[in-house]
Amino acid sequence: MSALVYLVSRKLKNRVKEILHRPTELIVLLVVLAFAVFVIWTGNMSRESEALRDFGELEAILLGVYTVVFVLIAKNGFVNGAAMFSMPDVNLLFDAPFQPKTMLSYGLFSQMGHALSLGIVLVYQYSWLRSAYDVTLLKLLVIVIGYAMTVFLAQMIAMLIYSLTSGSDKKCRIAKGIFYGLLLIFVAFFAKDVLTTEGEMLPRVVAAANKPLMHFLPVAGFLRFGVAGALSQHWSAAFIALGCFVVCVAVYYVLVSLLRIDFYEDVLKAAEISFSAITARKEGKAQELAPRNVKVGKTGITHGEGAAVIGVKHSIENRRSRFLLFDLMSLIFAAATIIFALIIKDAVGAFAFSVYMMVMSVGSGRWAKELTLPYVYLIPEPSFKKLLYTIKEQLPALAAQSVLNFVLLPFLIDCDWLTCIAMMTARFSFGLLFIGVNLLLSRLLGGNGNNKAIIVMVYFLFCLLASIPAIAAGVAVHFIYLGFASIAYSFFAIFAVNTLLALLLLFLCRNILETSQNNNR
Amino acid sequence: MLQVNHVTKKYGKLTAVEDVGFQIDNGEIAVLLGPNGAGKSTIIKCISGLLRFDGEILIDGHANKSLDAKRALGYVPEMPAVYDMLTVGEHLEFIVRAYRMQDDGTAERLLERFELLDKKDKLGKELSKGMQQKLSICCALVHRPSVVIFDEPMVGLDPHAIKQLKEVFMELRANGATVLISTHMIDSVENYWDKAYIMQAGKFVAERAASDVSEESLESLFFRLTESGEKA
């Protein structure tokens, strides 16, 4: 048996054994699978009752998703290369007598395997995809394969970019110009089509995304063309896309041979970065999402004493991380909310979507990073005071992101300004509530939770439970004043209840910096 | 002075530290020795107030979670604790301000001593691991604590920094501070300890004072106990 086949099969076998020997991991896996089955079952149940939406919308969504995935991965080629190998791969396999091409195939296919395993996320979209676009399980599998192929080619291109440009700023600038210039051309054509046609916004966006020109968008364009072809049984389109995929891979291998690209060095940096990120995660440290070149600017803390200096420090750190009120993720979430609102044309649905997207992002603020270092526990100041100054930095960002998520809705869908403002306040209050839930979980588990998946599940459950009072209040207000008041009053009720509950949680967790376990192992 | 009385720390069913007790007086250096996984870092984190525990820990007579105890304590963690987005100088300014101290030049002296003065405007993320460790040490000392705890302080340090750190240990002792050093590099502490504690499987298996007359070196005592599993 080839050593690489042995390695892959052993890793898989040991992973399965590990899951079977760890009850918590097994429970998580079973819950994940049960939830997937539930989503598939409910998807099949709800299908009969609803009218199907325009299939073109799904084609446009696929183009958007594949393009975002492709750009986010491929652009790493300008910084680190492709993260397709782990540190043990680099240390053990690169020194072993394997052909570089064999290693390259191993890396690319391993990465494709990861992409397919991440495709489970797409399974959770089955219910609405089924009811809206009649996407069967087989069709969903085609979408997931398209996604995995996008990841595969994006990794390959990231590595090629890095191989050809690393070590030369000029080459890097030229490559960046070509990469983003090409992207910009397609965005410009798309924007022109949307802005110069008339009618409702959604059909204009869909029509622009599905123009034949978009099939030529590198990777994402032809893969979307192929997947959409397979979904609508236009097999010629699927075969053309498959052909393009094979040609891309073949061209890449030829380039690696002709240019004698020594990719070992090119993947090293990405492997080291990924290894240090994994190590930091294992040690319980939150990674700083910092730009590559940090502009230090004015130095010195200059003001603040005692607990207050924590807040001053956060503002300095945010300035250098170029995080003023928005990060890339919050912008993507806001864009997704607006697109979702356009598709469903319902303010309440858009609100629910926006809050759902916020559940995970709230726990990644600077305040959460602060709790992973010892200083906040060691500083001789009252625990509650330190806690307040630690979470203070999150509030302006929460407010600004709430505004950004909904400010365009009155222009795009049937949503009056009062409702829009009420939605902003209600979303802000959910942000406060989820911070409170994070703290409560930290207080209850106190660093004892070793299984991150279990913690995430418990966190989701707690968020769900904590949301019930506000949602109940919103529903109650809606029914009591049915016909007399706008839905806006329900959102104001949600804001009031959430804020009170968040303050209660904060008060209950006031001693968290005395009792929490900073188990930074 | 540092007093640890009947401290037990459990992670679920696993007992990491079991009924540990010791006292280090002012002007004393104690070393905590033990193989990997013996519980050294756990007891250190309990003392620093980072972990919950059963028992009692007093720092200069105050319960370790009290503000008075926190003011008196300096802690160098096992992993360098550095903010990526603060400069070296800002780290020390942050600590000085957080502890409501006046900057009397201690920060600059520490930076000079550990050869970090020329890196004063470098960000935490730009430092090598060894430099991060030096900065961590400076942060623990800048507020002039009376009880200082070092968890594997020499890991990653260059020879000059190790020499400086050893001198710092001596100066702290001479100034009446209480010093506890956890390490498994026995030869690095051989010359200056006043008390030594050897841990294994969460328990103290031996205690020795420098004044005790014994022909057996600390190193051979350590190996005898940890390799055979016997208790002194």
- Selection from A442, A425, A411 nearest residue A513 by Cα: A442
What pLDDT does A399 receive? 93
Give the residue numbers spanning the domain of B150.
2-78+146-228
- What's the CA gap between B216 and B231, in Å, rounded? 15
Flag whether B61 is in a domain.
yes
Q: What is the mean pLDDT of residues A451-480?
A: 84
Per the CB < 8 A criterion, the answer to whether A241 and A223 are in contact is yes
Per the CB < 8 A criterion, the answer to whether A489 and A474 are in contact is no
Measured on CA atoms in the order B113, B118, B123, B129, is the torsion positive or negative?
Answer: negative
Q: What is the pTM assigned to this prediction?
A: 0.74
pLDDT at A261 > cutoff 80? no
- What's the CA gap between A494 and A487, in Å, rounded? 11
Neighbours of A345 (CB within 10 A): 15
Nearest CA in chain A to B14: A448
Q: What is the mean pLDDT of residues A389-414?
A: 89
pLDDT at B193 > cutoff 50? yes
Flag whether B109 is in a domain.
no
Q: What is the mean pLDDT of residues A408-436?
A: 91
Q: What is the mean pLDDT of residues B45-52?
A: 88
- As beta bridge partners, residue B14 has B11
pLDDT at B110 > cutoff 90? yes
- What's the CA gap between A172 and B109, in Å, rounded? 43
pLDDT at A520 > cutoff 70? no
What pLDDT does B107 receive? 93
Neighbours of A480 (CB within 10 A): 12
- pLDDT tens digits, residue range A312-343? 999 898 888 877 777 777 888 888 898 888 87
- Return the higher-pLDDT residue of B47 and B188: B47
- What's the CA gap between A35 and A25, in Å, rounded? 15
Whether residues A294 and B125 touch (CB distance < 8 A) is answered with: yes
What pLDDT does B62 receive? 94
A24 touches chain B (CB under 8 A): no
Q: What is the mean pLDDT of residues B44-50?
A: 89
- Return the higher-pLDDT residue of A249 and A456: A249
What pLDDT does A296 receive? 83
Point out the least confidently predicted range of A119-123, A415-419, A464-468, B87-91. Answer: A119-123
ipTM of the complex model: 0.86
- What's the CA gap between A110 and A90, in Å, rounded? 14
Q: What is the mean pLDDT of residues A255-262?
A: 73
Per the CB < 8 A criterion, the answer to whether A307 and A367 are in contact is no
- Indicate the average pLDDT of chain A: 83
Flag whether B124 is in a domain.
no
pLDDT at A518 > cutoff 60? no
- What's the CA gap between A61 and A135, in Å, rounded? 13
Domain residue limits, chain A: 1-49, 53-281, 303-515
A373 touches chain B (CB under 8 A): yes
- What's the CA gap between B141 and B147, in Å, rounded? 10
Give the length of chain A.
521
Neighbours of A165 (CB within 10 A): 20
What pLDDT does A194 receive? 86
Point out the least confidently predicted range of A276-290, B114-128, B188-202. Answer: A276-290
- What's the CA gap between A499 and A99, in Å, rounded? 61
B125 touches chain A (CB under 8 A): yes
B48 touches chain A (CB under 8 A): yes
Which 3 state secondary structure label does DSSP give B183?
A: strand
Nearest CA in chain B to A285: B81
Q: What is the mean pLDDT of residues A294-300?
A: 85
Whether residues A290 and B52 touch (CB distance < 8 A) is answered with: no
- Return the higher-pLDDT residue of B150 and A35: B150
How close, in Å, is residue A304 to chain B by CA atoms? 7
B101 touches chain A (CB under 8 A): no
Nearest CA in chain B to A382: B67
- What's the CA gap between A496 and A169, in Å, rounded? 53
Q: What is the mean pLDDT of residues A19-39?
A: 79
Q: What is the mean pLDDT of residues A251-257?
A: 82
Point out the least confidently predicted range of A66-80, A105-119, A382-396, B77-91. Answer: A105-119
Point out the least confidently predicted range of A67-76, A190-199, A445-454, B11-20. Answer: A445-454
Q: What is the mean pLDDT of residues A427-438?
A: 93
Q: How confident is the model at residue B84 (pLDDT cuts 50, 70, 90)?
A: confident
**Within its chain, how far is the Cα of B189 from the centroid?**
13
Point out the least confidently predicted range of A79-93, A271-285, B178-192. Answer: A271-285
Whether residues A317 and B85 touch (CB distance < 8 A) is answered with: yes
B81 touches chain A (CB under 8 A): yes
What pLDDT does B129 receive? 86
Whether residues B48 and A377 touch (CB distance < 8 A) is answered with: yes
Q: Is B115 left (phi over 0), alpha (psi -120 to 50) or beta?
A: left
Residue among A316, A380, A520 minimizing CB distance to B70: A380
- Indicate the average pLDDT of chain B: 89
- As beta bridge partners, residue B24 has B2
Pairing of strands B54-59, B2-11: antiparallel
A382 touches chain B (CB under 8 A): yes
Per the CB < 8 A criterion, the answer to whether B42 and B199 are in contact is no
**How many domains does the structure of chain B reveal?**
1
What pLDDT does A263 receive? 67
A379 touches chain B (CB under 8 A): yes
Whether residues B90 and A448 touch (CB distance < 8 A) is answered with: no
Q: What is the mean pLDDT of residues A109-137?
A: 79
- What's the CA gap between B121 and B110, in Å, rounded? 15
Whether residues A518 and B87 touch (CB distance < 8 A) is answered with: no
Residue among B65, B95, B97 minimizing CB distance to A304: B97
Flag whether B25 is in a domain.
yes
Whether residues B125 and A373 touch (CB distance < 8 A) is answered with: no
Residue among B68, B75, B121 minimizing CB distance to A374: B75
Q: What is the mean pLDDT of residues B21-31?
A: 93
Flag whether B118 is in a domain.
no
Whether residues A380 and B67 touch (CB distance < 8 A) is answered with: yes
B residues 152-211 lying closer than 8 A (beta carbon) to A = none
Give the length of chain B.
232
B162: domain CATH number is 3.40.50.300
**Within its chain, how far is the Cα of B199 from the centroid?**
15
- Return the higher-pLDDT residue of A2 and A470: A470
- What's the CA gap between B181 and B43, in Å, rounded? 12
CA dist B51 → A113, A439, A517, B17, B23 (Å): 40, 17, 5, 12, 19
Pairing of strands B54-59, B147-151: unpaired
- As beta bridge partners, residue B209 has B195
pLDDT at A447 > cutoff 60? no
pLDDT at A14 > cutoff 50? yes
Whether residues B50 and A307 touch (CB distance < 8 A) is answered with: no
A285 touches chain B (CB under 8 A): yes
Residue among A290, A518, A520 minimizing CB distance to B84: A290
What pLDDT does A521 receive? 43
Q: What is the mean pLDDT of residues A188-217?
A: 87
- Selection from A294, A273, A77 nearest residue A172 by Cα: A77
If you write DSSP's letter for every residue of A425-482 in order, what string do you get? HHHHHHHHHHHHHHHHHHHHHTT----HHHHHHHHHHHHHHHHHHHHHHHHHHHHHTT
Point out the least confidently predicted range of A202-211, A272-281, B85-94. Answer: A272-281
Which range is most confident: A92-96, A123-127, B123-127? B123-127
Whether residues A317 and B83 touch (CB distance < 8 A) is answered with: yes
How close, in Å, is residue A315 to chain B by CA atoms? 10
Interface test with A, best of B83, B119, B139, B143 (most A CBs within 10 A): B83
pLDDT at A66 > cutoff 80? yes
Flag whether B21 is in a domain.
yes
Per the CB < 8 A criterion, the answer to whether A313 and B91 are in contact is no
Q: What is the mean pLDDT of residues A242-250?
A: 92
Using a pLDDT cut of 90, give the percent of chain A over it: 25
